[in-house]
Amino acid sequence: MPPMRSDRSGIQVAMRTAYSTAFRTNHPGAPAAGAPPVPLVRFQNVQKSYDGATLVVKNLNLEIRKHEFLTMLGPSGSGKTTCLMMLAGFETATAGEILLDGRPINRIPPERRNIGMVFQNYALFPHMTVRENLEFPLRVRRLPKADIDQKVQRALGMVNLAGYASRMPGQLSGGQQQRVAVARALVFEPALVLMDEPLGALDKQLREQMQYEIKRLHLELGLTIVYVTHDQDEALTMSDRIAVFDDGVIQQLAGATQLYEQPDNAFVARFIGENNEIPGRVVAIDGQMCDVEVAGPRILGALNVVGGSIGDSVTLSLRPERIQLRPAPDGGFSCIDARVRELIYHGDHIRVIAEIPGSVELIVKIPNGGAVGSIEVGQTLSLGWRPGDCRALN
């Protein structure tokens, strides 16, 4: 959830700091701090069509850096999973080239790409023990028995399942099965690990626990991970960068903070976290700022993100936690009157549902404290925000 975004970003920074020294000691090939990132994966003008007419992936150009955790995020049908399947080799690109470590892989079969894969449904062999599941990709590669034993023990230790080698998958919980699936993807030390909605079948508590486990492995082992999800919270928590997909196109590629604070368009603002939208028309421009007329009528200031001209229709994007109730007069706020329709208790905050002229609904998040007690359903009060917190998008 967006209110926790900054907390989780802090945890992520702390995790990176704690592991950075050990990571560089154990992985001397990792780029030094400040060094230009080295791409491991390149999509070059990649397209995909299943029927020869409709493109589900449109001219994708994307570089994925070595040791990066990149998430492909988007709604169902946006093209993110198709991109992952083309990278894995389970789908063939209609046009364009995919390169792994500088080598074209379009015509290389999946088993020869040295890529680990974790699926949502675990895809464990039910008739094999945990040990046998982990041994399988090593036996396929014809490794000596001593090497197999060593790698299996190491992989089980990575996911804290050292005592579970003789169990069958059916004797494990969902979280334990997913750990085995992760260990199997890592056991042969692949150049790249792909994860296709791997936590979708877990309950909320297990899902959050596994998020931190996967991120821990990423940092400790210096993995390159490409992760597919439609869950924005998962993406914000785990990723170095996030590629937001819609209609086969990357709408924005950036870190979690930039995506949330500085969305490039209305789709990204709407998909990443909660967002208020107010339709309006540009009536004045002053450098990076613009004045937008909304229903009422009322003139509101905003960042002119789209570079709109006077007369252009835009959508004002405003995060719920940036709105203040009864802002101080002459405090530089954009203000508008609103009627309170509903108050919803969320423990640490109260969600105020208010309606402004034009029948536009705004959500306001207020920390749970004494000021909330003075608000009543049906009353009209002033809402305000700083113009720099409001973005004019299309």
Helix (H), strand (E), coil (C) string for the chain: CHHHHHHHHHHHHHHHHHHHHHHHHHCCCCCCCCCCCCEEEEEEEEEEECCCCCEEEEEEEEEEECCCEEEEECCCCCCHHHHHHHHHCCCCCCEEEEEECCEECCCCCHHHCCEEEECCCCCCCCCCCHHHHHHHHHHHCCCCHHHHHHHHHHHHHHCCCHHHCCCCHHHCCHHHHHHHHHHHHHCCCCCEEEEECCCCCCCHHHHHHHHHHHHHHHHHHCCCEEEEECCHHHHHHHCCEEEEEECCEEEEEECHHHHHHCCCCHHHHHHCCCCEEEEEEEEEEECCEEEEEECCCEEEEEECCCCCCCCCEEEEEECHHHCEECCCCCCCCEEEEEEEEEEEECCCEEEEEEEECCCEEEEEEEECCHHHHHCCCCCEEEEEECHHHEEEEC
Residue 305, pLDDT above cutoff 70: yes
Q: How confident is the model at residue 371 (pLDDT cuts 50, 70, 90)?
A: low
Measuring CA to CA, how many Å separate 256 from each of 130, 174, 229? 35, 28, 14
Q: What confidence score (pLDDT) does residue 59 get?
A: 95
- 284, β-bridge pairs: 291
Residue 99, pLDDT above cutoff 50: yes
Residue 20, pLDDT above cutoff 80: no
Range from 159-168, 193-202, 364-373 carrying the lowest mean pLDDT: 364-373
pTM of the model as a whole:
0.85
Q: What confidence score (pLDDT) does residue 33 get?
A: 55
Which has more confidence, 315 or 22? 315
Question: Considering the domain 2-114+191-266, what is its CATH architecture?
Answer: 3-Layer(aba) Sandwich (3.40)
- Residue-range domain boundaries for the chain: 2-114+191-266, 274-393
CATH of domain 274-393: 2.40.50.140
Report percent pLDDT > 70 for the chain: 90
The half-sphere exposure of 339 on its side-chain side, counting CA atoms within 13 A, is 7
Mean per-residue pLDDT over the chain, rounded: 88
Cβ pair 48, 56 in contact under 8 A: yes
